Structure 1
Amino acid sequence: MSTGSRTTTALDGGHARVDGDHAPSGGPHARVDLTVDAADENRARWAVVDTWTLVRRELTHYRRQPVMILWQLGFPIISVLLYGYVFSGAMKPPGGESGGYRDFLMAGMFVMTMSFGFMNTAAAVVAGASKGVIDRFRSMPMEPAAVVAGRGVADLLVACAELAILAATALAMGWRSGGGLTATVGAFGLLLLLRFSLIWVGVWLGLLVPSPEAAGGLYAVAFPLTMISSIFVPTGSMPGWLGTVASWNPISSTGTAARELFGNPVARDGSWIQDHALLMAVVWPLAITAVFLPLAARRFRQLGR
């Protein structure tokens, strides 16, 4: 997968990778004078090279299959236009008139796009597994962790493109961020942090479901996750128990924190989780990553047994 040949040699019970051009010579009993630190550094270098190779492979798919770009990048635009114009006349943001609903909505649309992204991750992973791509990767001299890491980095780059296109669409509709440059960059950083954490949920689910057809059923998870939140309406407008569930949805914390940083209307219900939305917009993604990244890695290892 990457340039240059590699060979593996035993080293104190571990493994070290060295370039084929510098392979040890002198017979079968020759020893390689490498320290453990040097071996680890060499392995880490190849892991980075393998990861970048797989990132380039994933991004090449978008160039060769333009339909994927139209769907993944076109869906956010259609969603913004639909919710922003069709529903805005009947919706009122907290403390504002109906015309200001788009200011309240936009942060939620950013969050929804990042949340639905895990479906694309899961679909890509299960498609690769069903076609035997992952098995072929296992037969190559490459770092196993690069398969998962390459998927994550590629999806994060696509998420950046989605956010850029969505933000351009929002600006064309008249939305503005009043929070200043630093706050605006921070809001987009929180959105990407949420997407980063959900990548590992998508990888885990993609390795778990048996077929691409079964992956379609994951929408039953995605829709409640996004709808039962503060993306479209304030949680205070919901029945008490449902409002509590929506407030503690990690997506709601990111949405509320983004609205605060963007200087957009924010709905307050007096709950602790909403009063500390900025803190929880960091804590929730870190907790999700801490749970699902190891699960995804373990599931990947189990497939090879």
Structure 2
Amino acid sequence: MSTTAAKRGAGRPLKNYTSFGQSVRNSLTMAYRGLLKIRRTPEQLFDVTLQPILFTLMFTYIFGGAISGSVSDYLPVIIPGILVQTVISTSIVTGVQLREDMEKGVFDRFKSLPIARIAPLAGALLADTVRYAIATLLTFVMGYIMGYHPDGGLGYVAIAGVLVIACSWAVSWIFAFFGVIARTASSVQGISMIVLFPLTFLSNAFVPVDTMPGWLQWFVNINPISHLVTAVRELANTGTVGPDLAISLIGAAVIVAVFAPLTVRAYMRRT
């Protein structure tokens, strides 16, 4: 290559035409990078380790007697609610960290590597599923220590955990989209909380729906968080599969179908 041609090509990102298999391998490598970041900065796990413990203790002992008459009677209600609220809230971190990496120019450096352009985004989303799994496990363990013994059995509890992780991964595409289009990490967190806060608290996660005002019950009954909490309760507490499980899975599929292309398209434009 001549000197002129080399200069003309300098500074341009390498074109990479990767196969599907290579894209998967690159994405897994980037997911491993995300796990290494957690190992080097373990404080990133504070939200998925401390939040389930603190929320379970506070909500159970503050509201248990008032809502269900006793702590033991409230645990089958609150543990599924805390599980969904904690893991869904954890998915906000996906968008925040994505925005931080983009601000630091990390993704600009990735463009010079012969890897699939989608790999950094896909890897970040895959790595965060480990965070969801940790939060799920700790919530059930904390509930068991406090006296929660789900009648559904270990198998249905595991299915309930996988359901929450899958739905949280789907929701993380929404926050990843915010992370790509927002200007700062703080704005991503602010927007995400505005979206998520009313959805989690205006649901059946913490109190029975029939105790709410009639004008509010209609929203709670159509709230997707309520359907997910009900599905988890049915699986863990009684070992049954109801229509709320199907509604939750369909809702997760719709979110991915809508926000995954939007996020990928916005990400490709920005990077």
TM-score, structure 2 normalization: 0.87
1:247 corresponds to which of 208, 218, 221: 221
CA deviations over 1:214-272 (Å, ceiling 9, x no partner): 223122222112111111112222222321111111111110011111126x9xxxxxx
Matched, 1:276 2:246: no
1:156–1:196 Cα contact (<8 Å) kept: yes
The aligned runs of 1:55-204 (5 Å cut-off) are: 55-92=31-68, 97-99=69-71, 100-204=73-177
CA distance in structure 1 between the aligned counterparts of 2:184 and 2:233, rounded to whole angstroms: 38
CA distance in structure 2 between the aligned counterparts of 1:167 and 1:182, rounded to whole angstroms: 13
CA distance in structure 2 between the aligned counterparts of 1:171 and 1:287, rounded to whole angstroms: 33
1:50–1:143 Cα contact (<8 Å) kept: yes
CA distance in structure 1 between the aligned counterparts of 2:138 and 2:216, rounded to whole angstroms: 33
CA distance in structure 1 between the aligned counterparts of 2:111 and 2:17, rounded to whole angstroms: 18
1:118–1:198 Cα contact (<8 Å) kept: yes
CA distance in structure 1 between the aligned counterparts of 2:51 and 2:62, rounded to whole angstroms: 16
User: 1:162 corresponds to which letter in structure 2?
Assistant: A
CA RMSD of aligned residues (A): 2.0
**CA separation of 1:16 and 1:214: change in aligned 2, threshold 3 A:** closer
CA distance in structure 1 between the aligned counterparts of 2:244 and 2:45, rounded to whole angstroms: 33
CA deviations over 1:67-111 (Å, ceiling 9, x no partner): 21223321121111111122212222xxxx433112211001110
Shift of 1:52: 1.5
2:81–2:229 Cα contact (<8 Å) kept: yes
Matched, 1:301 2:268: yes
1:126–1:212 Cα contact (<8 Å) kept: yes
User: 1:86 corresponds to which letter in structure 2?
Assistant: I
CA distance in structure 1 between the aligned counterparts of 2:209 and 2:249, rounded to whole angstroms: 20
Shift of 1:180: 2.6
User: 1:142 corresponds to which letter in structure 2?
Assistant: I
CA distance in structure 1 between the aligned counterparts of 2:58 and 2:157, rounded to whole angstroms: 24
| Runs ≥4 residues deviating over 4 A | 14-17
2:211 corresponds to which of 211, 226, 237: 237
Shift of 1:48: 2.0
2:16–2:116 Cα contact (<8 Å) kept: no
CA distance in structure 2 between the aligned counterparts of 1:111 and 1:234, rounded to whole angstroms: 16
2:56–2:82 Cα contact (<8 Å) kept: yes
CA distance in structure 1 between the aligned counterparts of 2:144 and 2:33, rounded to whole angstroms: 32
1:260 corresponds to which of 226, 234, 239: 234
User: 1:242 corresponds to which letter in structure 2?
Assistant: L
Greater share of helix residues, 1 or 2?
2
Shift of 1:46: 1.6
Deviates more, 1:226-235 or 1:176-185: 176-185
Structure 2, gaps ≥5 residues long? 1-14
Shift of 1:276: 2.7
Shift of 1:278: 2.2
Structure of larger gyration radius:
1
User: 2:29 corresponds to which letter in structure 1?
Assistant: T
TM-score, structure 1 normalization: 0.78
Please give the secondary structure, in 2, of the residue aligned with 1:87: helix
CA distance in structure 1 between the aligned counterparts of 2:210 and 2:252, rounded to whole angstroms: 24
Shift of 1:196: 1.4
Percentage of pairs with the same residue: 29
CA distance in structure 1 between the aligned counterparts of 2:123 and 2:212, rounded to whole angstroms: 41
Deviates more, 1:208-217 or 1:252-261: 208-217
Matched, 1:53 2:35: no
Shift of 1:66: 2.0
**CA separation of 1:66 and 1:85: change in aligned 2, threshold 3 A:** same
